[in-house]
Structure 1
């Protein structure tokens, strides 16, 4: 009898709910300071690129510890590491509300990122190990939708509470809520049935990573992850600057409400994940990346409503792209799931840190048009890689037909 979780299994919804909630906490904490970047510029008298480090340090810390957390989960177990990541990072969020120095805030954000690394890569490995392969695209789509809801609620809560109280109160309140959610996750997530702890030597870990890097398809997906996440974080890091300036002059709370477009990501990640199961991952990946590119171009329009539509289209495409790309990485049969997922997310979050920080310089150089130029260039490269994967897949199908 199979140990895989099927849609008819009583564990299905309990596991889905726990993974959704863990995803919610991770992305609420990881990006909660994003709408505060202009606030930090004013309070600490620093330029946008420096203020943006409050996000980049967290994603950078996450990226550099991703491989270690993957190894730790192989030794200690998936649930143990994911729970440690969620509870520890929530406690650090509460601590960061009391700091008076921006440098110390960056140190805490880096530590928070290091801990948070224990959830994203391990959660994808857990899903691929515990759920039936026939529904992993759908399940990862639902899981990724937790990213969008967490990102939305975290940013919206921070923006609103900052307007009414202070950013310190806002961050502390979010941290307290995330502690409670993390404890719920620990109590409700079923233990792994298809995972056996193994103590891998460093050489074995490095060998697994080397195998992942030798695979052409995986290398392409890692590059796409780097480019889409870098583009996504860059847009949301700096969109508040033009919106809070003339001629729009929007308040912090109103700018925070723009994150409601994250709800389209909740739909698109599940929809695109299911569509990829039916029509093929590479076709849907090309479609999602095209949506991102069209969306960022629309944000150049002077009309506020068209700008917001552009952000929504861009967000729809991003969550679809990430859902499909991360699912494709997990399905690769040649490499261990934890190692391949960790490498994908390593590049994914390095992209967030590198392009996210670089975007501030483009903003200073040429305003919002400069930011769009950076994002557009990254997305054209990502789309070119995805088209290459699609053509490679089609050639392989033709070869199989000819030699069958």
Structure 2
């Protein structure tokens, strides 16, 4: 048995649960803060007297800056260490969560949200690397599962906390409470995460990084997988951004709290990502991916109906299909990477969050001009384009 294997974190050791708790907490902070303003978009539009598209920028600038930072944070962590980067990122993002509640001008709010997104990349881009380096092969799957569950719970809880507290008090207090919870979770992360035992500092080579990015972008099947992330994530965020505007209008008139609770639907993603991933292992990624895309298509068509129950069901079907597709494509990217694996993962996440940022904001134009049919038309186009890529991709 090698020395690295002997010192790896094993499932029966206390360090396994300490590290898993830390990673869950870090994932919670990252995704709770990243999407915290999504249920508040109609309120921000009213309070700052801005358009729905401008209000959506409170989410888009955070995801865009996170996407850009993903190109640099993995290389930086290779040089200075995993834990130090992740701890600094979480603490900084939590502090910025407090700061954003005191701004008086929307432009300043966007600047701080951009900085917060940039900081949050420090965990999003490194956590998987830490798991692969520090955990034994026998328990990496469980450790990553707990981390992914933290991302789901964090994304859902951040929206519910801000939506519910905004209705009871105001959005400033709601985000301050979330920032306080995030700071507590960041401290848990800092004290519970074991120090890296298998990290070796490496020189930061921009030439090698650029070569790896170019290698994957020139490979059409891999580029197609990156485009899946761009198109499908753009569709998901657009749908959830503007369903809040729709459901606050007649005849629904839902409150911020009710819209926040709509994101409980995300729990379907916890199941579908695992279940569809297993089906892809059995039947191959392409046919299962096409089934997921078909589910998203069906969900979109149902969402055009007026019944609130049908709309919620439609959002659930779309969400189930999306997370299944995301699980399949992200795994496919890794399996198809024989070299420059880190750059492949970084590019997939870059396209993924770029879709969230760009299409999420463009959706505001469609909402302002054509309301919900404009949104469904836009997202249907994205889903069909993704389906076409899947149909024409190699096995």
**TM-score, scaled relative to structure 1:** 0.90
Q: Does 1:171 find its partner at 2:175?
A: yes
Rounded Cα–Cα distance in structure 1 between residues aligned with 2:243 and 2:352:
21
RMSD in angstroms over aligned alpha carbons? 2.3
Rounded Cα–Cα distance in structure 2 between residues aligned with 1:28 and 1:163:
18
Q: Does 1:290 find its partner at 2:288?
A: no
Q: Does 1:109 find its partner at 2:113?
A: yes
Q: 1:210 aligns with which of 205, 210, 214?
A: 214
Alignment match, 2:185: 181
Pairwise CA distance, 1:287: 2.8
Rounded Cα–Cα distance in structure 1 between residues aligned with 2:199 and 2:298:
42
Cα 1:296–1:80, aligned 2, differ >3 Å: closer, same or farther? farther
Rounded Cα–Cα distance in structure 2 between residues aligned with 1:129 and 1:287:
34
Q: Do 1:141 and 1:273's aligned partners in 2 also have CA atoms closer than 8 Å?
A: no
Q: Do 2:9 and 2:134's aligned partners in 1 also have CA atoms closer than 8 Å?
A: no
Pairwise CA distance, 1:383: 2.0
Cα 1:275–1:77, aligned 2, differ >3 Å: closer, same or farther? farther
Alignment match, 1:352: 356
Rounded Cα–Cα distance in structure 1 between residues aligned with 2:137 and 2:217:
23
SS of equivalent to 2:202: coil
Rounded Cα–Cα distance in structure 2 between residues aligned with 1:82 and 1:348:
21
Q: Do 2:11 and 2:139's aligned partners in 1 also have CA atoms closer than 8 Å?
A: no
**TM-score, scaled relative to structure 2:** 0.92
Q: 1:255 aligns with which of 255, 259, 264?
A: 259
Rounded Cα–Cα distance in structure 1 between residues aligned with 2:89 and 2:185:
12
1:28-79 CA-partner distances (Å, limit 9, x unpaired): 1001001111001111111100111101111111112211112111111222
Q: Do 2:37 and 2:59's aligned partners in 1 also have CA atoms closer than 8 Å?
A: yes
1:123-146 CA-partner distances (Å, limit 9, x unpaired): 233344455668766654543332
Q: List runs of 5+ in structure 1 lacking aligned partners.
A: 394-404
Q: 1:76 aligns with which of 57, 80, 87?
A: 80
Alignment match, 1:326: 330
Q: Does 1:148 find its partner at 2:152?
A: yes
Q: Does 1:301 find its partner at 2:309?
A: no
Alignment match, 1:399: none
Rounded Cα–Cα distance in structure 2 between residues aligned with 1:364 and 1:209:
37
SS of equivalent to 1:239: helix
Pairwise CA distance, 1:7: 7.7
Rounded Cα–Cα distance in structure 2 between residues aligned with 1:253 and 1:294:
27
1:9-158 equivalence runs, <5 A: 9-10=12-13, 11-130=15-134, 140-158=144-162
Alignment match, 1:231: 235
1:386-397 equivalence runs, <5 A: 386-389=390-393, 392-393=394-395
Rounded Cα–Cα distance in structure 2 between residues aligned with 1:82 and 1:246:
44
1:255-277 CA-partner distances (Å, limit 9, x unpaired): 22211111112222233334444
Q: Do 1:141 and 1:271's aligned partners in 2 also have CA atoms closer than 8 Å?
A: no
Q: List runs of 5+ in structure 2 lacking aligned partners.
A: none
Pairwise CA distance, 1:298: 1.6
Q: How many residues align?
A: 391
Q: 2:315 aligns with which of 311, 317, 320?
A: 311
Alignment match, 1:198: 202
Alignment match, 2:380: 376
Cα 1:352–1:72, aligned 2, differ >3 Å: closer, same or farther? same
Q: Do 1:124 and 1:330's aligned partners in 2 also have CA atoms closer than 8 Å?
A: no
Moved more, 231-240 or 140-149: 140-149
Q: Do 2:337 and 2:344's aligned partners in 1 also have CA atoms closer than 8 Å?
A: no
Q: Do 1:269 and 1:320's aligned partners in 2 also have CA atoms closer than 8 Å?
A: yes
SS of equivalent to 2:254: coil
Rounded Cα–Cα distance in structure 2 between residues aligned with 1:133 and 1:291:
34
Cα 1:264–1:251, aligned 2, differ >3 Å: closer, same or farther? same
Pairwise CA distance, 1:384: 2.1
SS of equivalent to 1:97: helix
Cα 1:127–1:321, aligned 2, differ >3 Å: closer, same or farther? farther
Q: Does 1:264 find its partner at 2:268?
A: yes
1:289-314 CA-partner distances (Å, limit 9, x unpaired): 22222222221111110100111111
